[in-house]
Amino acid sequence: MRIFKPMFVAVLATVTLVSCGSIKNLEVPTMDTTVNIEPKKGAISEEQFNQWAHADLVTDTIPGISLDKAYKFLEGKTGTPIVVAVIDSGIDIEHEDLKDEVWTNPKEIAGNKIDDDKNGYVDDIHGWNFLGGNGVAAPEQLEITRIVAKLNPRFEGKTIDDISDDEKVEFEKYQKYLKAYEASSSKHFKTMNRLVQIGENFAAIKKFLGKNSFTIEDLQAIKTEDQKLQAQIGDILGLMLRGLDEKAYLEYYETQKKNKNFDFDFNGRAIVGDNPTDINDTNYGNPYVIGSVEDESHGTHVSGIILATRNNGVGMDGVVNNVKLMSVRAVPDGDERDKDVALAIRYAVDNGAKVINMSFGKSFSPYRNWVFDAIKYAEKHDVLLVHAAGNDNKDIDVKDNWPNDSSDKINEFADNVLTVGAISVNYNEKLPATFSNYGQKNVDIFAPGVQIYSTIPQNSYAKYSGTSMASPETAGVAALIRSYYPQLSASQVKHIIMNSGTKLNMKVFKPTSRGQEPELVDFSTLSVTGRIVNAYNALVLADRMVNKR
């Protein structure tokens, strides 16, 4: 590994005017933020690790976003309150570290069952739930399952010889979709078969012993000539010796039974009651934005990263102060519907959000044009969308990952989407998260996304990993800029974050699946910028642009 000598360069390029007049006509200069420092040796404390994403690379040699340094820069400055929308699975807006930051619709009267502000959503006090239900889970199929299920009545069990010339093109597409479905579902069905087998083994042993439960000692004392029973005992004994008891097994089995990702016959919209193929059918959902405990865990964690109340002595500190959280529930346990995403974006825009976090994504998007139109709508209304790059360790310059701001992976149709990959705490060749998607054209920048400590339901906290965590770290920085420098447009904020990120000229392991041989590449090849988000640098650049320094 290359060892860097201590050196830090932070030189701003000259601000260039595109035309006279509004601050929105300023180009965004590129900031030279190349960092060459030698990593420190030794472990960091638990307290440091819980907030490692906020650390400063130069001071701490931890590749965080330099948040403490950013707030020192902001001392004496006053921000403007803004709204940040989180489109996710649901959010525990009653959490001790979030409740004081929740957005309230000033034009709506709670509980009167009247659409007071005439926005089409009755009693939307804190946001909207496009998934339907009141405090219940929201399972869904994967998009590939929905696609294959739709085509099965026409093509299932047929060969090319059974297909008319008019349908051969569609049949060939079906074959590709079916192959993708089988690749995605094979692990799940193998897992379910194994769980069923384990259940049968538990039942057989209990029947043999004549009791409803048993211990490791009971298993070890069994004497039998029945070879099948011997195998069943050996299987369960091995599991129990590794810490699995029947209660834990049953809990996991029930969880997996609820998984409808690959169920052709499941109708995830029954609880909602809309037509998911009609974008004009908008009268659905309800104001219950919290969801069920299992559903809201992801959205609650994401929200805490952005704006958990700072300096209150509780839990942890979010990235940004001076903002309000709008909860928009549109992400189920499965793939989100294109229609829900499109309407969720529009809802957030229409109700005043200036930054929208979108920690979700999928490989197939049959109604992507609806989402494209919503992204353009957000751009027209000067709203920045921050999107997680995805967790499939794939090159999304080649592989599909929706939603995005390019229909062909080359040309962007809007300039208000920031796509974020994930890095780890490791300031070495293991810097990129092994799971993170990447792409020199379609991932804009990287941010901390491994073992990120944040809020989860019922006043609890936990460490999660994913580009889902890197995205809100970045959305928080975007909100910080928009709060303290409201003159800047969404596009400018996007490019400020990109152009001011910490630039690392180092070799790293390209994200790969487990078992694959790691490949050393230049970090710069994994994203458009070759940078990681830096809140301090971004604020310095924003300040110099606004004040024309």
Kindly list the distances between the CA atom of residue 548 and the CA atoms of 23, 27, 486, 544, in Å, as whole numbers in the listed order. 9, 11, 15, 5
pLDDT at 25 over 80: no
Name the active-site residue from 95, 298, 301, 495: 298
Kindly report, residue by residue over 176-212, the tens digit of the pLDDT: 999 999 999 999 999 999 999 999 999 999 999 999 9
pLDDT at 439 over 70: yes
pLDDT given for residue 137 in this prediction = 67
The tokens for 472 are 């809100």
Q: Nearest 5°: CA angle at 344, between 338 and 346?
A: 105
What CATH number was assigned to the domain covering residues 7-140+268-546? 3.40.50.200
Average pLDDT, rounded, for the chain: 91
Name the active-site residue from 468, 471, 489, 500: 468
Known catalytic residue: 298?
A: yes
Of 2-6, 272-276, 516-520, the one with minimum mean pLDDT is 2-6
pLDDT given for residue 385 in this prediction = 98
CA 377 to chain centre: 22
Kindly list the distances between the CA atom of residue 408 and the CA atoms of 104, 341, 400, in Å, as whole numbers in the listed order. 39, 20, 9
d(CA 480, CA 455) in angstroms, rounded, equals 20
Tokens 């259940």 map to which residue? 199
Name the active-site residue from 68, 88, 97, 295: 88
Contact 396, 361 (CB under 8 A): no
pLDDT given for residue 358 in this prediction = 98
Mean pLDDT of 161-165: 94
CA-wise closest residue to 417 among 445, 458, 448, 455:
445
Contacts of residue 64, Cβ cutoff 8 Å, sequence gap at least 6: 52, 53, 54, 55, 56, 57, 448
Kindly list the distances between the CA atom of residue 346 and the CA atoms of 87, 128, 279, 295, 479, in Å, as whole numbers in the listed order. 11, 11, 12, 23, 19
The tokens for 202 are 């538990």
CA-wise closest residue to 306 among 63, 61, 52, 83:
83
User: At 421, is the pLDDT very low, low, confident or very high (cuts 50, 70, 90)?
Assistant: very high
CA 309 to chain centre: 21
Contact 538, 492 (CB under 8 A): no
d(CA 547, CA 549) in angstroms, rounded, equals 6
Q: What is the DSSP string of 429-464?
A: TT-B-TT--B-TTT--EEEE-SSEEEEETTTEEEEE
pLDDT at 245 over 70: yes
Sequence ranges of the domains in the chain? 7-140+268-546, 143-257
SS (H, E, C) 245-266: CHHHHHHHHHHHHCCCCCCCCC
Contact 368, 380 (CB under 8 A): no
Q: What is the DSSP string of 149-208?
A: HHHHHHHTT--GGGS-GGGHHHHHHHHHHHHHHHHHHHHHHHHHHHHHHHHHHHHHHHHH
Contact 384, 355 (CB under 8 A): yes
d(CA 204, CA 246) in angstroms, rounded, equals 13
pLDDT at 429 over 90: yes
Kindly report, residue by residue over 209-238, the tens digit of the pLDDT: 999 999 999 999 999 999 999 999 999 999
Tokens 């810097």 map to which residue? 431
Kindly report, residue by residue over 325-380, the tens digit of the pLDDT: 999 999 999 999 999 999 999 999 999 999 999 999 999 999 999 999 999 999 99
Kindly report, residue by residue over 305-324, the tens digit of the pLDDT: 999 999 999 999 999 999 99
Contacts of residue 434, Cβ cutoff 8 Å, sequence gap at least 6: 393, 509, 511, 512, 514
CA-wise closest residue to 353 among 119, 103, 123, 121:
103
d(CA 296, CA 302) in angstroms, rounded, equals 10
pLDDT at 18 over 60: no
Mean pLDDT of 428-450: 97
pLDDT given for residue 4 in this prediction = 25
d(CA 22, CA 26) in angstroms, rounded, equals 8
**% helix / strand / coil in the chain, to the nearest 5?**
35, 15, 50
pLDDT given for residue 35 in this prediction = 72
Mean pLDDT of 126-141: 86
β-strands 417-423, 384-388 pairing: parallel
d(CA 462, CA 457) in angstroms, rounded, equals 10
d(CA 284, CA 274) in angstroms, rounded, equals 6
User: Listing from the earlier edge strand, what are the strands of the sheet with 82-88?
Assistant: 127-129, 323-329, 82-88, 353-358, 384-388, 417-423, 445-448, 531-532, 502-503
pLDDT given for residue 19 in this prediction = 29
Contact 304, 98 (CB under 8 A): yes
User: At 138, is the pLDDT very low, low, confident or very high (cuts 50, 70, 90)?
Assistant: confident
Mean pLDDT of 142-151: 97
d(CA 153, CA 166) in angstroms, rounded, equals 17
d(CA 512, CA 440) in angstroms, rounded, equals 16
pLDDT given for residue 44 in this prediction = 72
pLDDT given for residue 262 in this prediction = 97
Tokens 């080649």 map to which residue? 398
Tokens 């083994």 map to which residue? 201
pLDDT given for residue 20 in this prediction = 31
Amino acid at 142: L
d(CA 282, CA 261) in angstroms, rounded, equals 24
User: At 40, is the pLDDT very low, low, confident or very high (cuts 50, 70, 90)?
Assistant: low
Kindly report, residue by residue over 265-307, the tens digit of the pLDDT: 999 999 899 999 999 999 899 999 987 776 789 999 999 999 9
Known catalytic residue: 88?
A: yes
The tokens for 306 are 């952005």
Mean pLDDT of 118-136: 90
Contact 477, 439 (CB under 8 A): no
Question: Between 140 and 44, where is the model more confident?
Answer: 140
pLDDT at 427 over 50: yes
pLDDT given for residue 41 in this prediction = 55
Kindly report, residue by residue over 497-510, the tens digit of the pLDDT: 999 999 999 999 99
User: At 28, is the pLDDT very low, low, confident or very high (cuts 50, 70, 90)?
Assistant: confident
